[in-house]
């Protein structure tokens, strides 16, 4: 990979990695283990695991073949980034008053160029499915990020040192991120830390990668897949009527009886297509049963054997007993954190308290997804600011998301109404001010509150004074 522009590297290093690219410290730990020995102990955790690639293959197949999985992933991604009625963007940014209009325009232009708003659904779904999402920021000669290139997770490797920090070398095995061919693991390209945005869903401390939302469902899916296939085969091969023919073979030897039964079977399956032309016609998709029967002497009496035909009973409790399949399907849905009622699978949903509790848990899970997506957006914005020589720490902003579409809106609106009525009374008494109401009851951050005040062109003190004057004029007004 060619050496990056010195100016680019200097700018990135100044604000993201410090005055120089840090190297792993060669120190001895407090328990007397050398750095090299510590690295050797940690290497098994950082090597590319075959289990990781197997997991990717399993979850992709689950997404392609299991309706519940595909529907739940679509619903989670859609409800995380979409507001009700489709009237709002996926996210919006609130700035403090100290942020200049030029920087705001820079960030808004970045969002528009890279289509960050539109890509949030794709990023959310991919992250939940794989557990990892890799995006390479593509820059033009003017240091503008113009694209976020998707990198297949199965082809990406993240290299960390024993301290859990990204490596900063420029050779194979020392790059922060490396792309390889998934099958052969042959090296393709290496990337510095600032050249890749890596989102990790549900990351655990022992792995440099995230974990798929479906990771624990893989075992249940394999069992469910085997059961469903066996049930389908059973339905196809045994769910049709089978005929039992009992033929009279009295006074025939075993050879003659066998030949007579064969001739009878052939006569049933043979039909005349044209003159002197015969074809074979199968009576059923399953094989019928042909038995020979002859007169036998029983108690000195001859019992006649008559040719007979019967319909075999094909009823089987296995066709209706789906408890095992429902059990493993429920385990798969449990890993998706999506209530069955939202997928149309819940049979008993009459308990109102149960529905409210499920709705609250689901809304909280959606908020967790939104917080996860915020990390990726912030990384892209900070990188763009650094490329322009702006310290991201000097640009205070907050990424906000609309309320999840599945939250209990009726209960929230009733609580907001009660708070508003009480706040109106307390505000008139001088017990609280508008900032207290906005932060404590409305749930706004200080950045959000200041941004709102800036947009309406009034500060909190001015509005409070105006309200006090209005109430004072009402008290002073003589009664008519």
How far does Cα 464 stand from its chain's mean position?
46
**Could you give the dihedral angle defined by the CA atoms of residues 398, 402, 407 and 411, in that order, rounded to the nearest 10 degrees?**
90
Q: What is the pLDDT of residue 50?
A: 66
Average pLDDT over residues 275-300: 57
Cβ–Cβ < 8 Å for 139, 113: no
User: Cα–Cα distance between 135 and 380 in angstroms, integer?
Assistant: 10
User: Cα–Cα distance between 275 and 289 in angstroms, integer?
Assistant: 30
User: Cα–Cα distance between 112 and 101 in angstroms, integer?
Assistant: 16
Q: Identify the DSSP state of 88.
A: S
Cβ–Cβ < 8 Å for 309, 278: no
Residue 67 has pLDDT above 90, yes or no: no
Q: What is the pLDDT of residue 317?
A: 55
339-359 pLDDT, tens digit each: 777 666 665 555 555 556 677
Cβ–Cβ < 8 Å for 242, 286: yes
Q: Identify the DSSP state of 438.
A: I
Beta bridge partners, 34, equal 28
User: Cα–Cα distance between 166 and 23 in angstroms, integer?
Assistant: 10
Q: What is the secondary structure of 140-189 as a DSSP string?
A: -TTS-EEEEEEE-GGGEEE-B-TTSPBP--SSTTTSSEEEE-TTT--EEE
Token pair listed for 325 = 């399949």
- Report which of residues 345 and 102 the model is more confident about: 102
Residue 376 has pLDDT above 90, yes or no: yes
Average pLDDT over residues 327-331: 78
- Report which of residues 333 and 480 the model is more confident about: 333
Average pLDDT over residues 139-151: 90
* Residue 49's pLDDT band (cuts 50, 70, 90): low
* Residue 334's pLDDT band (cuts 50, 70, 90): confident
Q: Identify the DSSP state of 115.
A: T
User: Cα–Cα distance between 480 and 478 in angstroms, integer?
Assistant: 6
Report the range of poorest mean pLDDT among 293-297, 329-333, 348-352: 348-352
Cβ–Cβ < 8 Å for 333, 68: yes
Average pLDDT over residues 201-209: 84
Mean pLDDT, the chain, rounded, equals 75
Average pLDDT over residues 87-109: 87
Cβ–Cβ < 8 Å for 412, 359: no
Residue 368 has pLDDT above 60, yes or no: yes
User: Cα–Cα distance between 370 and 199 in angstroms, integer?
Assistant: 12
To the nearest whole percent, how much of the chain has pLDDT over 70? Answer: 64
The Cβ-side half-sphere exposure at 444, using a 13 Å CA radius, reads 18
Residue 315 has pLDDT above 60, yes or no: no
* Residue 122's pLDDT band (cuts 50, 70, 90): very high
Q: What is the pLDDT of residue 354?
A: 57
Token pair listed for 51 = 């289990």
Q: What is the secondary structure of 200-268 as a DSSP string?
A: ETT--TT-SS---TTGGGHHHHHHHHHHHHHHHHHHHHHSS--EEEEEE-TT--HHHHHHHHHHHHHHH
User: Cα–Cα distance between 113 and 411 in angstroms, integer?
Assistant: 39
- Report which of residues 46 and 313 the model is more confident about: 313
User: Cα–Cα distance between 374 and 396 in angstroms, integer?
Assistant: 14
419-451 pLDDT, tens digit each: 888 888 888 888 888 888 888 777 777 777 877
Q: Which residue from 230, 226, 247, 228 is spatially nearest to 238, judged by alpha carbons?
A: 230
Residue 379 has pLDDT above 50, yes or no: yes
- Report which of residues 50 and 74 the model is more confident about: 74
Please give, one letter per residue, the 3-state secondary structure of 37-61.
Answer: HHHHHHHHHHCCCHHHHHHHHHHHH
Report the range of poorest mean pLDDT among 54-58, 217-221, 474-478: 474-478
Residue 244 has pLDDT above 80, yes or no: no
């Amino acid at each position: 990979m060619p050496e990056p522009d010195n100016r680019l590297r200097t700018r990135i290093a100044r604000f993201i990695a410090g005055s120089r690219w840090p190297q792993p410290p060669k120190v001895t730990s407090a328990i007397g283990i050398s750095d090299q020995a510590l690295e050797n102990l940690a290497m098994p955790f950082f090597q590319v695991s075959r289990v990781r690639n197997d997991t990717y293959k399993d979850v992709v197949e689950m997404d392609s073949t299991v309706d519940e999985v595909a529907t739940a992933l679509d619903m989670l991604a859609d409800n995380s980034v979409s507001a009700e009625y489709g009237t709002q963007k996926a996210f919006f940014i609130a700035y403090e008053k100290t942020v200049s209009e030029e920087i705001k325009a820079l960030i808004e232009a970045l969002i528009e160029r890279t289509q960050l708003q539109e890509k949030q659904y794709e990023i959310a779904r991919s992250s939940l499915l794989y557990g990892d999402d890799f995006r390479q920021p593509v820059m033009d000669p003017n240091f503008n990020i113009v694209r976020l290139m998707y990198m297949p997770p199965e082809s990406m490797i993240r290299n960390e040192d024993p301290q859990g920090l990204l490596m900063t070398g420029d050779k194979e095995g020392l790059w922060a991120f490396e792309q390889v061919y998934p099958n052969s693991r042959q090296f393709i390209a290496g990337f510095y830390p600032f050249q890749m945005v890596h989102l990790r869903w549900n990351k655990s401390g022992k792995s440099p990668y995230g974990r798929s939302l479906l990771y624990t469902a893989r075992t249940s899916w394999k069992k469910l897949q085997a059961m469903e296939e066996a049930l389908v085969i059973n339905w196809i091969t045994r769910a049709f009527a089978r005929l039992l023919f009992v033929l009279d073979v009295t006074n025939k030897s075993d050879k003659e009886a066998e030949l007579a039964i064969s001739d009878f079977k052939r006569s049933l399956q043979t039909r005349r297509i044209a003159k002197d032309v015969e074809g074979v016609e199968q009576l059923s998709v399953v094989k019928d049963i042909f038995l020979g029967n002859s007169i036998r002497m029983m108690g000195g009496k001859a019992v006649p054997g008559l040719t007979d035909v019967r319909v075999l009973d094909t009823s089987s409790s296995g066709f209706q007993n789906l408890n095992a399949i429902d059990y493993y399907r429920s385990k798969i849905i449990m890993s998706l954190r999506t209530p069955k009622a939202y997928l149309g699978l819940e049979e008993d949903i009459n308990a109102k308290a149960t529905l409210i509790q499920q709705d609250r848990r689901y809304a909280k899970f959606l908020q967790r997804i939104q917080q996860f997506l915020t990390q990726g957006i912030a990384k892209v914005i900070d990188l763009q600011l650094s490329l322009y020589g702006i310290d991201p720490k000097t640009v205070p902003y907050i990424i906000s998301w609309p309320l999840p579409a599945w939250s209990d809106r009726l209960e929230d609106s009733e609580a907001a109404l009660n708070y508003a009525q009480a706040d109106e009374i307390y505000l008139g008494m001088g017990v609280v001010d508008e900032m207290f109401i906005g932060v404590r009851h409305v749930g706004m951050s200080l950045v959000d509150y200041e941004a709102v005040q800036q947009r309406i062109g009034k500060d909190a003190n001015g509005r409070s004074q105006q309200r006090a004057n209005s109430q004072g004029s009402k008290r002073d007004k003589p009664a008519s």
